A = this chain, B = another copy of it.
Amino acid sequence: MIVLDRLKAEVPDALRDPEARYLEEPRGRWQGQALAIVAPSSTAQVSRILRMSHDTGTPVVPYSGGTGLVGGQIKEGGDPPILLTMDRLSAVRAMDAQAGTMVVEAGAILQNVHEVAEAEGWIFPLTLASQGSARIGGLLATNAGGVNVLRYGNARDLVLGVEAVLADGTVINGLSPLRKNNMGYDLRHLLIGSEGTLGVITAATLRLFPTPQATGAAMMAVPSAQAALDLLRLAQGQIGEGISAFELMGKMGFDFLNEVGPQLRMPFDKAPEWCVLIDLGLSHGTPEEALEVLFSKAYEAGLVTDGVIAQSQAQRQDFWAIRENIPEANRRIGSISSHDISVPVASVPAFIAEAPGRLARINTFRINCFGHLGDGNLHYNVFPQPGRTRADHEQERVAIKTCVHDLVHEVGGSVSAEHGIGRLKVGDLETYGDPGKLVAMRAIKAALDPKNILNPGAVLRA
């Protein structure tokens, strides 16, 4: 292969021995392949590698933390790709503690970014379960969400600029930290969320935020999803921007944790039908008092039936451990079909009321519904009944997915809220996406990557 010879000649230090971990993904649904695994140590090396790939028409799959759930990092069929792992390109290039900005390379692990920011008195608010292994490049490529979107926005809202390499090796130097800059088209937001199909993000200038003076949390049991939504409105009226997260959890999540672990300290003796985890970060007042006032008002209004306010940061961590381990419990149970969806916030209760009946026409299932209520973003995951396995329902997977996604579409929602399209949802994008938007997306893809070498088959059909 010409391209292998050129890689050996031009970037010999970047070639890696094959390792299985680069070809797997968290749910074990797909198995990747690679012509070569290459770990560039500089933007210039990324540029050289892409130019070679472009010259020879070799596909490239950018690889970041490998935590994606929609197969964006896995190319199964067709020509084996160069797998471009960003783990040697992981420096913090600059930290401006006065302005509250940080320039990091794509391979930086999110947890490390948090620590660097916190050491200087700032926070970088992007927070999600996989933050110990997810890397900035992939988080931006997928416009990751997480638990703090309600307050701080999605990944794209936390980025002032990006540096990226286009398919032919052209470098875009866009790391300016300016807050106002109208020098031409906004390529930053086009690259963010394009899942490595329009360019490879090599570094980003991140916006940091002041550390809230006091943080706190509560778990509150609510009688229904509608009550949870009413509680959110009540909390927003009382506490406003101080609400950092507002997470909804159904009883099934607690049942799964009890059934398969991990074993955790639980706030309620008996798992409630629904509960919310409310996290506050205040610049005035004390979170415990604000949560007590909220609980009293909500109790009077019949919106909550029980509640525990964290009395220490350790207890707050316990609450979060429950929320963050629900995906792990789900993994151990083994879902038949998982759905990362969003609907208009006001439609969440109606969606939750309607979906189980529709699914029951297919078969009887266990449903674990949880997520970021404040964003209308639910993880709506369907599991077998006890004693059955997901293999027993293999032939129903398409019907389940179609049932859920059709309902989401009916209420004006999105069938990809925060995980992206990857390869899993290419058909969904064609089915539910706006036709005019798809025309424009294909035109842009063809213009920026005419040989279709960048993550082919992700987002758009290859």
Contact = CB atoms under 8 A, between A and B. Distances in A.
Interface of A: 98-99, 142-143, 145, 149-150, 154, 156-157, 166, 170-174, 176-190, 192-194, 198, 210, 233, 236, 240-241, 283-285, 342-346, 372, 375-377, 412-421, 429, 432-434, 436-441, 443-444, 446-448, 459
Contacts of A98: 233, 346
Contacts of A182: 142-143, 193, 414, 416-421
Given A99-B346, A180-B414, 10 more contacts: A99-B344, A173-B434, A176-B412, A178-B413, A179-B375, A180-B377, A182-B420, A185-B193, A186-B193, A447-B447
Contact of A414 (B181, B440, B459): B181
A346 B415 CA distance: 43
Nearest to A428: B183
Contact of A415 (B183, B284, B432, B436): B183
B441 A185 contact: yes
Contacts of A170: 436, 439-440
A181 B416 contact: yes
Given A186-B190, A241-B241, A284-B284, A342 B181 contact: yes
Contacts of A438: 184
Contact of A166 (B142, B418, B440): B440
A432 B342 contact: no
B421 A184 contact: yes
Task: List the 3 shortest-distance A-B pairs measured between CB atoms, nearest first.
Answer: A189-B189, A447-B447, A181-B414
Contact of A429 (B172, B183, B440): B183
Contacts of A413: 178
Given A183-B421, A416-B183, A448 B443 contact: yes
A186 B189 contact: yes
Pick the most buried of A166, A344, A418, A421: most chain B CB atoms within 10 A of its CB.
Answer: A344
Contact of A375 (B180, B186, B412, B429): B180
B437 A448 contact: no
A287 to B, nearest CB: 14
Copy number of this protein in the oligomer?
2
A283 B240 contact: yes
Contacts of A236: 210
Contacts of A344: 99, 177-178
Nearest to A155: B182
Contacts of A157: 157
A99 B346 CA distance: 8
A415 B181 CA distance: 8
9 contacts: A99-B344, A154-B179, A157-B157, A166-B439, A179-B342, A182-B417, A182-B418, A183-B421, A240-B283
Contacts of A446: 447
Nearest to A345: B99
A174 B448 contact: no
Given A180-B342, A189-B186, A174 B447 contact: no
A156 B439 CA distance: 23
A173 B436 contact: yes
Q: Which of A154, A190, A233 has the most CB of B within 10 A?
A: A190
Given A99-B345, A440-B166, A194 B185 contact: yes
A179 B190 CA distance: 17
B99 A183 contact: no
A198 B180 contact: no
Contacts of A176: 412, 414
A171 to B, nearest CB: 5
Given A412-B176, A418-B180, A192 B187 contact: no
Contacts of A418: 180, 182
B174 A434 contact: yes
